[in-house]
Amino acid sequence: MGLFDKCFEFTRAEQAQQMGMYPYFTPIQAVVGNKVKIDDKDVIMVGSNNYLGLVDHPKVKQAAKDAVDKYGVATCGSRFLNGTLDIHVELEERLAKFMQTEAALTVSTGFQTNQAIISTLVGKGEAVITDKMDHASIIDACRLSYGEVYPFKHNDMEDLERVLVSLDKDIGKLIVVDGVFSMEGDLTDLPGVVKLGKEHDCKILVDDAHSVGVMGRNGRGTAEHFGLEDDIDLVMGTFSKSFASLGGFVVGDKKVISYIKHHARALIFSASITPASVATALATLDIIENEPERRERLWAVTKKMKTGFQSMGYETGLTESPVIPVIIGDDARTFMLWKMLREEGIFTNPVIYPAVPRGQALIRTSYSATHSDEDLDTVLACFEKGGKTLGILK
């Protein structure tokens, strides 16, 4: 079989496009608040991770513009060489203080951040233990490490214990879990993970990409939510959700962060975060720290939508976050509902295997602190209309 044969045999995308049922790579022409323009039509966005509604905040946009004026549009180099700006250092110091840890390190993307942490820390003869529903960046980072990978069933503490008991007690071990799982919106059983981690001498990394800014009284993430901040060794976060920017970070003990900083290929051999993105993250951090009412509004929105979907008869799984999956089951009706919603002016994300288990296809919705009640009511009405038309709802 030739190298490119599989490319010519892949026809699913073309078939979906021909049927008008292709939901991916949609060009967005403009963004104003929680509405986007697609094909010159205004669409309500409930598929973004703009949890605090800061994507078009005036202060945030101005910070990005000012950074471009001062530093240009790019660093044209890695952090290791010429790509460290004073605002990179400022952001890391601010993040460490905000997250109440000794040190922080920023990386060009969230995906690369997990690569930087896991592939650098987990070496030959050591083990990394992962939830089977962990993000793809974690899975790929594990593949790049020289350690052995041991997955456990999603949020199943008995299975995690089974894995840990099977390992040599003297080897280095890292447990990696998502704080909020990005498709289902459920939380990791962090108390259970911490308990077993202590019993089996494991270090713990929490991927809080969907949690920082959202979870916890001060927005510090899943560990703060559970009151376990002192029990977590490393927290990873991204700037592409609540921070309305691009990039990632990890916080933890100073010596551990320094080791990652000086050994992580994903950091050393990649251009650093652009000036505008760093300035945006700094500006949004100010807002996260000083405007807790945004989180309060976000949770009010989340409660309204979850209650609304459930009262119609939709299944929303075990979500405890602003990520609310509407579980349909089969792929065909999932895509049909997606298309009906898009035609009604609602932007959602259909999710099928392998992003979710077979037979668990869903419409992933996610919400912002700045969604209006009027827009939310429109979304619910369209879901009800579509669900009844397709026979999903009675």
Residue 124 designated active-site: no
What pLDDT does 202 receive? Answer: 98
**54, 60 in Cβ contact below 8 A?**
yes
Query: How many angstroms separate the Cα of 136 from the Cα of each of 87, 131, 337?
Result: 30, 11, 26
Instruction: Tell me the pLDDT band of 394, cut-offs 50, 70 and 90.
Output: confident
Q: Could you report the per-residue pLDDT of 249-259, keeping only the tens digit for each?
A: 999 999 999 99
Within 10 A of 391 (CB to CB), how many other CB atoms are there?
Answer: 8
Class of domain 58-290: alpha beta
What pLDDT does 157 receive? Answer: 98
What pLDDT does 354 receive? Answer: 85
Q: Could you report the per-residue pLDDT of 281-303, keeping only the tens digit for each?
A: 999 999 999 999 999 999 999 99
- State yes or no: pLDDT of 356 exceeds 90: no
- State yes or no: pLDDT of 357 exceeds 90: no
Task: For the chain, give the mean pLDDT.
Answer: 96
Sign (positive/negative) of CA torsion 77, 83, 87, 90?
positive
Report domain extents, the chain. Answer: 5-32+292-389, 58-290
pTM over 0.85: yes
Domain 5-32+292-389, CATH among 3.40.1160.10, 3.40.50.1970, 3.40.47.10, 3.90.1150.10: 3.90.1150.10
What pLDDT does 25 receive? Answer: 94
**234, 202 in Cβ contact below 8 A?**
no
Which residue out of 48, 108, 182, 211 is catalytically annotated? 182
76: Cα within 13 Å, side-chain hemisphere: 3
- State yes or no: pLDDT of 122 exceeds 90: yes
Nearest in space to 19 (alpha carbons), one of 325, 338, 330, 329: 338
Sign (positive/negative) of CA torsion 276, 280, 282, 283?
positive
126: Cα within 13 Å, side-chain hemisphere: 18
Nearest in space to 45 (alpha carbons), one of 28, 59, 57, 60: 28
Residue 182 designated active-site: yes
Provide the token pair at 281. 């993250």
What pLDDT does 323 receive? Answer: 98
What pLDDT does 389 receive? Answer: 96
**324, 182 in Cβ contact below 8 A?**
no
Nearest in space to 364 (alpha carbons), one of 113, 20, 23: 23
Q: Could you report the per-residue pLDDT of 43-96, keeping only the tens digit for each?
A: 999 999 999 999 999 999 999 999 999 999 999 999 999 999 999 999 999 999
Which residue out of 135, 241, 261, 371 is catalytically annotated? 241
- State yes or no: pLDDT of 19 exceeds 90: no
Residue 195 designated active-site: no
What pLDDT does 369 receive? Answer: 97
User: Cα separation of 359 and 357, whole Å?
Assistant: 6
- DSSP readout, 95-148? HHHHTTSSEEEEESSHHHHHHHHHHHH--TT-EEEEETT--HHHHHHHHHSSSE
Within 10 A of 182 (CB to CB), how many other CB atoms are there?
Answer: 21
Contacts of 219 (CB under 8 A, 6+ apart): 212, 213, 242, 288, 289, 292, 295
Helix (H) or strand (E) holding 176: strand 173-178
Amino acid at 390: L
- State yes or no: pLDDT of 1 exceeds 90: no
What pLDDT does 288 receive? Answer: 98
Instruction: Tell me the pLDDT band of 126, cut-offs 50, 70 and 90.
Output: very high
Which residue out of 88, 135, 210, 306 is catalytically annotated? 210
